[in-house]
Structure 1
Amino acid sequence: MIIKDYRLGLAIVFILILASISLLVFKGIPKSIDITGGAEITIKVKDPNIFYSLKSYLSGLAEVKELKSSSGYYIVVRCSYDKVEIVKKKLKEFFKVESLSSLNYSEKTVGPILSSRFFEEGFKALAFAFIFMSLVVYFYFRDPYPSGAIILSALTDIILTLGAMSLFNIELSTATIAALLMIIGYSVDSDILLTTKVLRRLSVKFDESVKEAFETGITMTLTTIAAMVTLLIVVKLFIPIADILANIAEVLVIALVADIISTWILNVSLLKLYLEKIKKVI
């Protein structure tokens, strides 16, 4: 058991939730063009110094980023949908070409209607997954308190992850929404492991049951974190242009760390409170 005093555990998680909500309210989460609409133009160039010149040239019109990998040097230009044609014209002028097709480039454009549709459907999928998960958990345990603790832990995992995305400027996109969907299942998995181990072995000391569940759960979590960190490193070093994979890996790593907090601090504290104050079995 990570924290012996459930009051301390609840206080720590409450502070983290409050900090995450504050970040979401006052700072917000950056959104990708999948959500806001717009264009993303990726150009492979030979001279890295072009980046600074182009960034200055497109100042106020577009966001310009650089990507380096073993396959070459890339410049990524992002702009809102209403500025796509202006930015394309500026790029032609900058590179002194008649058409962008003469450059080694790729383009991704998402209209405002389609992007809003993406966001709506992604939000609906997230809400449906959470509601369905809540029903399954409740019917499995048939007890509102431990079921509520699991649901609250999963919700905390999502809130902490969104707060970290805001803090580290990780974009909300269709890819990161998919990662959040994945983490709902994973978070509930570790919570069910803990709750089942504790409630079905009331004859065993609470701390011993938690310790056994922790040894199994943390091994699973750390293994998955290691796999996601490896994926993130490979993408960043060798295929930085595959930002979708990088975003998914980043969100999953953050969410898995948040899951350690929500499961092994929050849920353990709630279970101890339940068994000590309500069931009076410890």
Structure 2
Amino acid sequence: MKPIRWIKKNTNINFLGLKKISIFFSFLLCICSIFSIFIFSLNYGIDFKGGTLIEIKSTSKIEISDIRSRLYGIGFEDAQIQTFGSDDTILIRIENDNVINGEADLNASKIIAKELGNLFLIQRTEIVGPKVSSELIQKGVLAIITAVSLMLFYIWIRFEWQFSLGAVLALIHDVIITIGLFSLFGIEFNLSIIAALLTIIGYSMNDTVVVYDRIRENLRKYKQMDLFELINNSINDTLSRTTLTSVTTLLALFSLYFLGGEVIRGFTLAMIIGVFIGTYSSIFVASQIIFFLGIKRDWSKN
């Protein structure tokens, strides 16, 4: 049975010919993302900020103004209130520095539950202390750095240092832009987003390795072919596989985003952004870098 190809086998798109445009576009996106992170910061969730989160549900539409007035009456003037998926469910967020009559977050959640529990169903309560939230931030950053470092080492061993550098720069490119978009649009950044970023790193690396493997294979097969043409041919050879994988993954992710509920929506959105950016970077970023750095032509002994 022949593999599915929705792009013609002899497709010859000049990807490297677009290097000036793609490099400028990627550089612009990364700079804008970094500026966005510094200017707007990240909308940290309870996991990283610390505090109390309470989800309440009703059989009918909940009026946020009514909840706000009730919380105001018991001293929680700064509580953040928002709908969660549908109009009959809301989230209440209390930051760590918001205390009532000397009561800490644990007692604050009890006070709110007592005030609202008779009128609404308390679906869940999450409490994260400042020490725990600080540790979670450190562990999240460490997890991303460790993943990228291991990827760098793996590619270095399997290919050459030029491939390794190209792959890692593409990964950093993907992570920066994804985080920048979360910052720009104020989307909540929590532990599930860290999990999504780690998944994006793996997905993007997989796409990049497929292209790199074909480049290495063609280096062995066509020893006299110009490197520019060889890399272009390699990208075109794997284009059908790369785009088909991305499209099928996106179909599943969009289904989860619209049908999976509010709890996993942030994770799914990060994955959707990551798949788009990862597919782009494996074609336009990683390959451009190894062409710029240059690679050895004789792979017969490897």
Whether 1:128 and 2:153 are equivalent positions in the alignment is no
TM-score by length of 1: 0.85
Alignment of 1:12-51 (within 5 A): 12-51=25-64
Cα offset, 1:262, TM superposition: 1.6
After superposition, the C-alpha distances for 1:100-141 in whole angstroms (9 at most, x for unaligned) are 377410211111112222222222222111111111111111
TM-score by length of 2: 0.79
Contact 1:67 1:74 in 2 (8 A): yes
Amino acid at match of 1:73: D
| Aligned residue in 2 for 1:161 | 178
Alignment of 1:53-132 (within 5 A): 53-55=66-68, 58=71, 60-69=77-86, 73-83=88-98, 84=105, 85=107, 89=111, 92-93=114-115, 95=116, 100=117, 103-105=120-122, 106-132=124-150
Indicate the SS of the match to 1:4.
helix
Whether 1:222 and 2:275 are equivalent positions in the alignment is no
Structure 2 CA distance for partners of 1:49 and 1:179, relative to 1, 3 Å: closer
Indicate the SS of the match to 1:201.
helix
Contact 1:6 1:273 in 2 (8 A): no
| Aligned residue in 2 for 1:246 | 265
Contact 1:13 1:261 in 2 (8 A): no
Q: Given the alignment, which residue of 194, 213, 220 partners 2:238?
A: 213
| Aligned residue in 2 for 1:260 | 279
Structure 2 CA distance for partners of 1:133 and 1:68, relative to 1, 3 Å: closer
Q: How far apart, in 2, do the equivalents of 1:161 and 1:264 lie?
A: 17
Cα offset, 1:88, TM superposition: 5.4
Mean Cα deviation higher: 184-193 or 197-206: 197-206
After superposition, the C-alpha distances for 1:171-202 in whole angstroms (9 at most, x for unaligned) are 22111111111111111111111112123203
Q: How far apart, in 1, do the equivalents of 2:155 and 2:296 lie?
A: 20
Q: How far apart, in 2, do the equivalents of 1:122 and 1:55 lie?
A: 33
Contact 2:210 2:238 in 1 (8 A): yes
Contact 1:65 1:75 in 2 (8 A): yes
Structure 2 CA distance for partners of 1:149 and 1:51, relative to 1, 3 Å: same
Mean Cα deviation higher: 42-51 or 31-40: 42-51
Q: How far apart, in 2, do the equivalents of 1:87 and 1:62 lie?
A: 12
Indicate the SS of the match to 1:162.
helix
Contact 2:54 2:109 in 1 (8 A): no
Indicate the SS of the match to 1:66.
strand
Indicate the SS of the match to 1:74.
strand
| Aligned residue in 2 for 1:182 | 199
Q: How far apart, in 1, do the equivalents of 2:142 and 2:85 lie?
A: 36
Indicate the SS of the match to 2:61.
coil
Q: How far apart, in 1, do the equivalents of 2:287 and 2:152 lie?
A: 18
Indicate the SS of the match to 2:126.
strand
Q: How far apart, in 2, do the equivalents of 1:181 and 1:101 lie?
A: 41
Contact 2:166 2:287 in 1 (8 A): no
Q: Which has the higher helix share?
A: 1
Cα offset, 1:61, TM superposition: 1.6
Mean Cα deviation higher: 120-129 or 177-186: 120-129
Q: How far apart, in 1, do the equivalents of 2:141 and 2:92 lie?
A: 27
Contact 1:6 1:270 in 2 (8 A): no
Point out the structure with max Rg over C-alpha: 2
Structure 2 CA distance for partners of 1:101 and 1:116, relative to 1, 3 Å: farther
Whether 1:196 and 2:213 are equivalent positions in the alignment is yes
Indicate the SS of the match to 1:75.
strand
Indicate the SS of the match to 2:187.
coil
